[in-house]
Amino acid sequence: MPVSAASPFYNQEHEDFRAQVRRFVEREIVPHIERWEAAEELPRELHRKAADAGLLQIGFPERAGGVEVPDLFYMIVLTEELARAGSGGLIASLMSHGIATPPICHTGSAEQIARFAAPVLAGEKIGALAITEPSGGSDVAALKTRAVRDGEHYLVNGSKTFITSGMRADYITCAVRTGGEGMGGISLLVIEAGTPGFSRSPLQKMGWWASDTASLYFQDCRVPVANRIGAENMGFMAIMMNFNQERIMLATQAWAFAKVCYEDSLIYARERQTFGKPLIRNQVIRHKLADMKMRLDAVKAHLDILAWRVSHKQMPVAEVCLLKNHACTALEWIANEAMQILGGAGYLRGSRVERIYRETKVLTIGGGSLEIMKDLAGKQMGY
C-alpha cells in the first residue's frame, strides 16, 4: 500500500490541534512577547486565555479538568508551536504546571486535585515545582529543607532556588525532608502563597526572561498536613515519576528552538546579499544549513521514537536521558551556526536567534544536567 504520510506518529487530529495552537501563538503571544521579556514575567491573563483555548489541560487526567490524550505527540505539537514565539521563558513559565501539577494528579487525593490541580489547569492559579536548593540541584536526594510535624501542621524551614514561576506561583509543590537522610526521607507538600513564614525574591538570568524565577524562603512556615501529597517520606518516587516526560518535553523544546534557528537562518541566507549575490549561493553557507538540517532530523527521529515508547507505557530511562543530551547539544550547535549565518543581525535584541542562543544553556542544566544525564544513563545500562 502506498504511504504518503511523512510520519507514522502524527495524524490529522494532531495537525488540526496544531492549527489552533499556531493561531493562539500568533494572536495572543507573538505581539506581546517582547514586552513580557522586558517585564520579566507573564501576565496571569495569558494563563486564563491559554486555558480557555484548551492548551494548559493537554495530557492531564479528566478528573483534574485535564484533556487526556492517547500519546505524547499532542504535547510535542503544542511545544513546537509555542516555540515559534522564540522564547524559552514563555514555555517554561506558562507551562510550569507541567512539572508542578503531575505529582498532585498522580498521587494526590480527590480533594487535593480539586484544590491544587483543577484551578491551575483552568488558568486561574499558577503552579510551581520547588526541588532545587541553594546547596544543590543535581543531588535531589540530599535536599535539606526541613518539615517537622507539629500536630496537624508541618513546620517548614529552609529555602529553594531557581524556581520557575516562583514569584507568581499560588501553589508550590515543594520537596521537603520529613525523615532521615537520603531519598527515603523526602515528602511533597503543597505550600500556598500567603502562608505566614513564606517569602520569595526574584532572580535575574541570562535567558528565560519571560519566566519569573525565584528563591523561596521558609521560616517556621506552617503548612497543613492535609497539603502533603502522598504518604510521608514517599515524595522521592512522586518526583521521579514525572522525570521521563519532563525530559522528553525539554528535548522537544531544544529541537523546536533549533528548528526556529534553522528556519530563520535559511530565510536570511536567501534574502541577504553579500558580494553581489544571495548568501545562500555560497557553498560554505549551504553546507552549514545542510548540517543543521541533518542534526534536526536526527533529533526528531530520536525524539519521536522515544515519545512513542513512553506513550505506550514503556520506561526507557537511559534512552530518554541520552535523548535530552542529544537534543540540547544539537540545539547549542545549531543556534551557534544560525547566529553565524545571521551575522550582526543575529546579535541584536529582537532577533529570535539572539534569544534562543542565550537560552541554550538552561536546557543542558535544568531538568537533569548534561553530566547527570550521562551518569544516570550509564548506571541504568549497568556500566
- Positions touching ligand FAD (CB under 6 A) are 128-132, 136-138, 162-164, 205, 208, 213, 362, 365-367, 369, 371-372, 375
Question: Which of 43, 54 has the CB closer to another protein?
Answer: 54
54 binds, options another protein, ligand FAD, none, Cβ within 5 to 8 A by partner type: another protein
Q: Which is nearer to ligand FAD, 183 or 372 (CB)?
A: 372
Q: Are 130 and 153 in contact (CB under 8 A)?
A: no
Cα–Cα distance for residue pair 73/321, rounded to 1 Å: 18
Nearest distance from residue 39's CB to another protein, in Å? Answer: 24
254: three-class secondary structure by DSSP:
helix
Enter the DSSP assignment of 176. Answer: E
Q: Which stretch binds another protein (CB under 8 A): 19-27, 89-97, 219-227, 316-324?
A: 19-27
Secondary structure of residue 213 in the 3-state scheme? strand
Applying CB under 8 A, among 54, 182, 350, 378 the residue interacting with another protein is: 54
Q: Alpha-carbon distance 328 to 254, whole Å? A: 5
Residue number with CB closer to ligand FAD (72 or 362): 362
Contacted by 205, from ligand FAD, another protein, none: CB < 5 to 8 Å by type: ligand FAD
Which residues does residue 153 pair with via DSSP β-bridges, in sequence order?
Answer: 150, 224
Has 41 been annotated as catalytic?
Answer: no
Distance CA 115, CA 121 (A): 11
Q: What is the torsional sign of CA 241, 250, 49, 228?
A: positive
Dihedral angle of Cα 155, 160, 163, 165, to the nearest 10 degrees:
30
| Residue 271 makes contact with another protein by CB under 8 A | no
Cell of 126: 499558577
In the list another protein, ligand FAD, none, the entry touching 272 (Cβ below 5 to 8 angstroms by class) is: none
Catalytic residue among 37, 40, 41, 246: 246
Residue 154 DSSP SS3? strand
| 52 part of the interface to another protein, by CB under 8 A | yes
Is residue 12 close enough to count as binding another protein by CB under 8 A? yes
Euclidean distance between CA atoms 74 and 66, whole angstroms: 13
Q: Which residues are designated catalytic?
A: 246
Residues interacting with another protein, by CB under 8 A?
A: 12-13, 16-17, 19-20, 23-24, 52-54, 58, 67, 69, 74
